[in-house]
Structure 1
Amino acid sequence: MKIWRWKKKWLVLLLSPFLLFLSFLLADKLYPLPVTSQRTTQTILAENGTPMWRFADEHGIWRYPVTLDEVPDYYLEALLGYEDRWFYHHFGINPFAIVRAAWQYVTTGRIVSGGSTLSMQVARLLEPHDKTLLGKLHQVFRTLQLEWHYSKDEILTLYINRAPYGGTLEGIGAASWSYLGKPPSQITRSEAVLLAVLPQAPSRLRPDRYPERAQAARDKVLDRLAEFEIWPPEIIEQVAQQEVWVFPRKTPQLAPLLARRLSQQYPRQPIIRTTIDASLQYTLEDAAMNWKNRLPAKSSLAILVVDHTDMTVKSYVGSIDFNDNGRFGQVDMIRAWRSPGSTLKPFLYGFALDEGIIHSESLLQDIPRVASDYRPSNFDTGFSGPVGAAESLLRSLNLPAVQLMEIYGAKRFTSKLYQVGLRLQSAGGEPNLSYILGGAASQMDQLVAAYSAFARDGKAAQLRFMPTDPLIEKQLMGEGAAWVVRRILSGDGRPPLNRSVSDIVPLGWKTGTSYGFRDAWAVGVNPRYLIGVWVGRPDGTPIVGQQGRITAVPILEQINGILMNRELNQYRPLPTDPKPDSVSSVTTCWPSGEVLDKEDPNCHRSQRGWAINQMIPPTLDMVSTLNNPTYRAGWLKIWVNEQGLRVAADCSGAIEKQIALWPVGLEKWIQPNERRSTLIPQMDQDCPVPGESNYSQLLVTGIINNQFVRALPGHNELTLSLNSQGGFGSRWWFLDGELIDTLREGAKLELTLTKRGVHNLLLLDESGQIDRIKFTFE
């Protein structure tokens, strides 16, 4: 019996470790380590690694995770030498350290040194416990779990990223940036020792508040390093002579709206490195603040700068002041849907050039018109008549753009932009002519990205916010069309006579002003950068007098100056944009748009411009006159007799003659000797052209130009009975710029006047002809 009892005791003794181990495994399964239970904090970095913005966890704690490779070896030496010299040799609990700490407490009556290892400290950081025996046992259990699941390097990594550093800082990464303004990899030995000891009493030793205490604690660590000969004496002596001094603690606050955008896009990524140039971002945020007081109340400002050589975003200013609620500072206007005004026009001209619809000096018509229930007018309410394509784009004339849009097709235009990521939205949802003048909404980031086509040989590329983002691009137009449009936007749209074309293109820009002065735009392309500027009120209320050229262009030019000075100071060669082989200089003639000898009587005006692949298209006409041979522009073949009168082709002595006709809508803007009444000979009544319907000029009848009219005595109003003569189709009557009636051909207009003063009457027909009368009602 005694032998059995003795065997039983030994059996229990032998099985106890195994049972304890099984109990540990069961407890480990039931109560896993809470390593991942805390919400990951996020830090948004600039291109150089500088933190721009941080997102703390639910307790306001900020961590900046680093790896062991990102901290100096001498920091780890100081940390382990002071905290746990046997870290790599024990199993998480150092019994010798516990015995030593207990003996010191018994003999001195106070705590001389702690018995906790780094593993035990990590366990306490992950799950704080009460300072009781039960709490200590809980800490021991968690420590054993750490040692079971993680390597020593992984545990050390957990410590350096979770150690408290005062206030809302955890980890050496957050502490190094907050106190020292640099990454842990760049800290000095003195700073390394300081950061090693701060977690012992982070609030009491905060170096920004108590530098003397912090220095005393640092020196205590140096003494320990000297005692155990971890560092050479001469190094310790040098470090001891350095005073503890740190920056006032500050929170990274740069590019907040980009930070929010990327945080929403990558919610589980603790470190997000961007392509932002930190110094440029600081400069442009300061510039935005300087502009703040010059802009009307409740106005905001957005700036986007992109390096078009690789499409990396270098600056992102989403609002004028993130902290100004009165200016809706937390609304990101780079992502907001706003009317782009005229900033879409370069794409339309590029498409038209690319497909041979126009060349750079093609004749377009800047005249009043009515089309599809939309009656645009130029922004300055004036009309230029005949204009070249380059001039109409450079001056941002509306009516030539509408003429091109009508020929090219609004749906086709919108679809091409959509394919490269530039989406357009409108209330009706159906693309129409108004899109080219800002009748649809777009977003700045997509708009600026699409402008990259003018600097990247016609390929539009997506923005890259992070270095890991791939470069994605798609052909939007040919490289020749992109090159010509970029030259036009830079003010150098005509081929030079006696000099070569520079490969470096200066700043080219396009403005935009939305209806009601709600949005002012300027989008620019300089040798290296795309620049987008938007000014307006985020709530969409108008600002009277706000225009892209007046409001946004000065900001654009200031930014361009900053960027080009940086290029100069960095001694970086500027990217070039040489003329493609597909582009050539041509000299054409108006009105035909073709190449003619200058002495040819049909060459009324000689124009020098750029053509793509030698495509020289004839002059465009309006859609309204293309189906009407009588009013169509271009070449007219006639036969004349010896007296120069027009005759039928089979008449005796008939001579064939080609006449180049201007578009009929330009009759009021061209010289008298260029008009149809001069160019087309009178009919010879002895041998007339059978079935010929002669062109007839549109005229207002019932009042003459510069006439003074009066009401009858005792009457305050006057009714004029007006009619039209000549022309074609329906007539639109405008008084002082406002449409007052639409009548069929031959119908009279009864115009009642009540307002005295000078009035301007304009009559427009379907062929595009106009007649203008200025009169005074006394």
Structure 2
Amino acid sequence: MIRHAVLAATCAMALFAGAHDGLNRWTQDAVLPPLLHETSVEVRARGGELLRAFPVEDGRWRLATRIADVDPTYIEALLAYEDKRFFQHRGVDARALIRASWQALWNGRIVSGGSTLTMQVARLLENGRTGSWSGKLRQMQLALALEQRLSKEEILTLYLTHAPFGGNLEGVRAASYAYFGKGPKRLTPAQIALLVTLPQAPEARRPDRGARVAQAARDAALERLEEAGVFHSEATSAARRTAVSSSLKPFPATAFHTTERARLEQPEQAQILLTLDAGLQNRLESLAASHLNRLEPNVTIALMVADHTSGEILASVGSAAEIDDTARKAYIDMTRATRSPGSALKPLVYAMAFDLGLAHPETLIKDAPVRFGTYTPSNFDGQFRGEIKLREALQLSLNIPVVSLLERIGPERFMQRLERAGLQPQLQGSKAGLAVGLGGVGLSLHDLVTLYASFAQHGRAVTLSQYAPQPTSGQRVTASAAAWQVGEILSSAPLENAQLNHGIAFKTGTSYGYRDNWALGYDGRYVVGVWVGRADGTPMQQAFARSTAAPLLAQVFQYVAPQIAPLAPPPPETLIVSNAQLPQPLQRFETRDALKRADASRPDIVFPPSGARLAADPELPLILKLRGGTPPYAVFANGEIKALGLHSREASLGPMTQGFFELSVVDAEGRATRASIEIR
């Protein structure tokens, strides 16, 4: 120890024994080591909270640390403990070196150190030794050079990032997370004292290896910091009564799957900012985990929440289980896994039927046995309800009506709409069949949340992103009125765990064999998706989405916002009438085969449809369009003959005067049809 003191004193005197110009030349000749050591990749939430950090290549935790990241009292304590004249000296504090040397000579042991923070930074950057003449001189030379080329704040930042705190921990932020389970922004006096003293002997004082030694060093530091005026006596007394924990805390690993994907997608970024809301993410991870004990063995849960007005993903839970739960395969991100959506796709079929003018929510449709070639769909419960309104068929999630609608729409056109919405559907075969409307296509939870976001956004495609809001294509998925009609139907169904008039447009889905339970829903601002199932795709035991996923969906909305945002009002062009007020072709829906049979039987007036109101124009004739029946036809208007022996399915009735008209058509077999119209 005495040898070190003499060495320090000799170095201090040597600094000032030489000429000033020589000292400058010696300092300028210094070759600085790299100042930018690799730091841990950090993924942060929208508010800047640390979601997850990744160790550097050699397994060390080295988190980049700014002065603003640390409790100001820690900075005050650090300078009081390590380098009182940090902001006055130029890298080497000759007074401190001489004082430390004479104290050591007088006491026979080292009482105080003479190394400045800048000298410590020099040693850390170069990983150099200080127990020799050459090592100490090299450290001084680098310290002087650092002071010439960097500001005091930059030097302090280097110390905060590189100081050793035991094991693979470097920097005060890494130490704070490991020893206290939090960042160093707000620290107690006991925590500050421990962090101040650890770098002096990082291995000997590691709390996880020797809590007694660490506590003794901390208490000694508390005494010195009280003498320096950093803490008052009451604070230090309370701090001494706080035990030092011997267990290391895990580093943050919130949103495990999302942060993992972010690191892979942005490998060059050291700081990655996501749109996730840290508080919401943590609450939903806890909520999902708490539901696991209500489910069958090895079943897990995935959740997603997005703001459909901006496309920002606010929360994403890839698996509710702990990441090391191999039985539940928690390492698989089930928000991106391709699964069968079951009935969750039905709203798009209905929206397309409304959009294409094939049907209306009040249209009647037959829920009865039907065959399409070799395909014979059936309802989940095996029952048939006869003639039923489309709104009720959607709320009851009946299979036969939706397949009948899809047969008229066309499976290929349906698949094109999925892609237009930004989804990535996966088919087992090369061609889509009618089963796609019942879940016969692979989609992810991310896909389905994207689809329901388009319903919420008046039928326009929404690009969901975990990064900054992305510009959307604005492609039209469905007409605005059709999207509103679907939302109005879905928001009218009861939802367990929600208020009676909950205002959430939602749909559940259960795939074949109970493999997947889905619940998708949206209000005026947020869209939520829930998946329940086994990651390996094995069936559950009669688990229905309405009893597993739907109640959880309602709870997620309660976590997202204190109140449900109201859905948008109907667009002006929306037709809101009863079935009796609909145009005749929309009053009852017929399958393609039924229409063909109708074409071969009675005649039908396609235009103008019954109930139409047309503007009078003395120069333009009214064109009558027919289908079905057997020509020649006879056409009458209010009993007056307009055409006889008509073989074409179009006829000009000439300009029509204002008034009400009863149009009648009789075919060669004597079969008749009528339409009532108004010319005004």
**Deviation readout 1:618-646 (Å, 9 max, x if unpaired):** 64432234444455788479xxxxxxxx9
Q: Which range moved further: 365-374 or 378-387?
A: 365-374
Structure 2 residue aligned with 1:561: 555
Aligned pairs for 1:666-677 (under 5 A) are none
The code of the aligned residue for 2:534 comes to R
Aligned pairs for 1:464-543 (under 5 A) are 464-466=465-467, 468-470=468-470, 472=472, 474=474, 475-491=476-492, 506-526=503-523, 529-543=526-540
Structure 2 residue aligned with 1:728: none
Structure 1: which 5+ runs fail to align?
1-11, 494-501, 597-615, 638-645, 658-687, 695-778
The code of the aligned residue for 1:240 comes to T
1:189 offset after TM fit, Å?
Answer: 5.7
Structure 2 residue aligned with 1:622: 591
Aligned pairs for 1:577-588 (under 5 A) are 577-588=568-579
Question: In terms of Rg, which structure is larger?
Answer: 1
Aligned pairs for 1:101-500 (under 5 A) are 101-133=100-132, 134-140=134-140, 142-144=142-144, 146-188=146-188, 191-205=191-205, 209-210=211-212, 212-223=215-226, 225-226=228-229, 236-244=232-240, 245=242, 249-251=248-250, 252-321=252-321, 322-371=323-372, 374-466=375-467, 468-470=468-470, 472=472, 474=474, 475-491=476-492
**Deviation readout 1:398-422 (Å, 9 max, x if unpaired):** 2322222232233332223323321
1:489 offset after TM fit, Å?
Answer: 1.2
Q: TM-score scaled to structure 2, two decimals?
A: 0.76
Structure 1 residue aligned with 2:83: 84
The code of the aligned residue for 1:170 comes to E
Structure 1 196/469 Cα, relative in aligned 2: closer, same or farther at 3 Å?
farther
RMSD value, Cα: 4.0
d(CA) in 2 for partners of 1:534 and 1:254? 19
Percent same amino acid at aligned positions? 36
Aligned pairs for 1:1-40 (under 5 A) are 20=26, 23-24=29-30, 28=31, 33-38=33-38, 40=39
Q: Are 1:594 and 2:582 matched, yes or no?
A: yes
d(CA) in 2 for partners of 1:294 and 1:15? 78
Structure 2 residue aligned with 1:706: none
The code of the aligned residue for 1:624 comes to D
The code of the aligned residue for 1:110 comes to R
Q: Helix, strand or coil for the counterpart of 1:386?
A: strand
Q: Is the 8 A contact 2:421 2:454 kept in 1?
A: no
Structure 1 272/297 Cα, relative in aligned 2: closer, same or farther at 3 Å?
same
Structure 2 residue aligned with 1:643: none
Structure 1 residue aligned with 2:626: none
d(CA) in 1 for partners of 2:99 and 2:228? 19
**Deviation readout 1:721-742 (Å, 9 max, x if unpaired):** xxxxxxxxxxxxxxxxxxxxxx
The code of the aligned residue for 1:564 comes to Q
1:334 offset after TM fit, Å?
Answer: 0.6
Q: Helix, strand or coil for the counterpart of 2:269?
A: coil
1:111 offset after TM fit, Å?
Answer: 1.9
**Deviation readout 1:198-225 (Å, 9 max, x if unpaired):** 3223444456834742542332431552
Q: Is the 8 A contact 2:504 2:564 kept in 1?
A: no
Structure 1 303/73 Cα, relative in aligned 2: closer, same or farther at 3 Å?
closer
d(CA) in 1 for partners of 2:500 and 2:542? 38
Q: Is the 8 A contact 1:64 1:271 kept in 2?
A: no
1:178 offset after TM fit, Å?
Answer: 4.2
Q: Is the 8 A contact 1:193 1:221 kept in 2?
A: no
d(CA) in 2 for partners of 1:155 and 1:15? 24
d(CA) in 1 for partners of 2:330 and 2:385? 41
1:264 offset after TM fit, Å?
Answer: 1.9
1:335 offset after TM fit, Å?
Answer: 0.9
**Deviation readout 1:549-575 (Å, 9 max, x if unpaired):** 3xxx4343134235427744xxx5744
Structure 1 693/145 Cα, relative in aligned 2: closer, same or farther at 3 Å?
farther
Structure 1 81/650 Cα, relative in aligned 2: closer, same or farther at 3 Å?
closer
Q: Helix, strand or coil for the counterpart of 2:577?
A: strand
Q: Is the 8 A contact 1:504 1:574 kept in 2?
A: no
1:396 offset after TM fit, Å?
Answer: 1.7
Q: Helix, strand or coil for the counterpart of 1:213?
A: helix
d(CA) in 2 for partners of 1:196 and 1:21? 30
Q: How many residues align?
A: 592
Structure 1 587/14 Cα, relative in aligned 2: closer, same or farther at 3 Å?
closer
d(CA) in 2 for partners of 1:20 and 1:298? 68
Structure 1 residue aligned with 2:4: none
Structure 1 531/364 Cα, relative in aligned 2: closer, same or farther at 3 Å?
same
1:431 offset after TM fit, Å?
Answer: 3.6
**Deviation readout 1:680-712 (Å, 9 max, x if unpaired):** xxxxxxxx9757899xxxxxxxxxxxxxxxxxx
Q: Helix, strand or coil for the counterpart of 2:92?
A: coil
